[in-house]
Amino acid sequence: MTTPATPEQPADVVARLRATFRTGRTKPVAWRTGQLRRLRELLTERSADLADALHADLGKSSTEAYRTEIDFTVREIDHTLDHLDAWLRPESAPVPAHLGADATAWTQVDPLGVVLVIAPWNYPAQLLLAPLVGALAAGNTVVVKPSELAPATSAALARLLPAYLDTDAVAVVEGGIPETTALLAERFDHIFYTGNGTVGRVVLRAAAEHLTPVTLELGGKSPAFVDRDVDLSVVADRLARGKFLNAGQTCVAPDYVLTDPETAAALEPLLAHAVETLYGTDPQASDAYGHIINERHFDRLAALLDSGRIVVGGGSDRTDKYLAPTVLADVDPGSPVMREEIFGPILPIVTVDGLDEAIAFINDRDKPLALYVFSESGDTRGRIAAETSSGGLGYGLPLAHLTVSDLPFGGVGESGMGNYHGRWSIETFSHRKAVLDKPLR
């Protein structure tokens, strides 16, 4: 009888990856691009495995799995491969005259060392692999920790990543709180965490023990302001698509709508129609609509349904972890649904008198990860851009800024710190070192 192998302890994993980094093996651009191409091969050759796992964990359709997780990450890899040489090129800096005409200065982009990536459950492949792309492109070794709340995806990644990537430079650690706690006790050169603010504080406190820099991609209540005199049928369609994707379990989904009472009344039936167009009269039977991740989150969301008048939806099935796409009207700002990030398929409509009250409403709360504005008025757009603070700002289309690789993605204040995607990932996972050369003459 064969004795099962003892799982590698977090301290041993980190020590092994640090030893690899110190050999210089991960620094050549050829190694970095080779790893990115291997990761791309994994995503294309084993895409069905990942799509099946995502369906098991979240009920995602294959279309949604490919669009939001697999193809999304492939595009990130392709963009990085196209531009990596330019991003890594040293940049010259002017030298003051007192140092002499023969002095030169430049910045050099250095990898940090051993990076830890902790992924969430809502996009369990994309939100683990997209940071991994940046960490590898920057020349680091990486420990990745998939979410235990998406066990099928975690198991698939733990099986596939070692089959494609350099196992002396990339390690997968599965598990829950004990394993994460053990990892956080180790010294890393950067920690990248995506999730909620409560755990984000735990990560930040642990990192402080080693003065480790941290990127926190958190969430928050992302508002959508709907102005008067816009095409509400288009607004309703785009709000519904952005809100109910992944059954509302998206960190940049519109969390609530702010608009005046007359516009709210006109928007209600259009949102109901948009939901039916997307998922039919019985969303539970729709292949395009997913389920809530687990019973705990289902119970939390079901308790929020009494926070307003139900315009559409409201149905639920705990056994199937199904919560219908739901729009709530007549929502009081102090109601339970407005006290926390919803992170589920419930869209409250909160009425305000106009733009001034909407801006004050947003500014009285934590800075959101995203803010969406549906308005054709340049003055309205400009005022919201100038008078509010958010991680990202979208005019006319929710979620889309996340797909632009040349835009930084990240939060501000309670919604996070730091950015990634494209070149911004290189900046996050590297140190830009200042270099000065004064010849010995």
Active site residues: 217, 251
Q: How far from 134 is each of 78, 128, 165, 242, 364, CA to CA, in Å? A: 12, 11, 14, 26, 35
Is the distance from CB of 235 to CB of 242 less than 8 angstroms?
no
Is the distance from CB of 232 to CB of 380 less than 8 angstroms?
no
Dihedrals phi, psi of 274, to nearest 5 degrees = -65, -40
Report the C-alpha gap between 334 and 379 in whole angstroms.
30
Q: Which two tokens stand for residue 66?
A: 């490919």
Query: Could you identify the residue written with the tokens 């023990």?
Result: 209
Report the C-alpha gap between 125 and 63 in whole angstroms.
15
Report the C-alpha gap between 29 and 13 in whole angstroms.
24
Strands 326-329 and 309-312: antiparallel
Report the C-alpha gap between 391 and 412 in whole angstroms.
5
Q: For the chain, how many helices (H) and strands (E)?
A: 15, 18
Rg (CA), the chain: 23
The DSSP line for 70-87 is IHHHHHHHHHHHHHHHHH
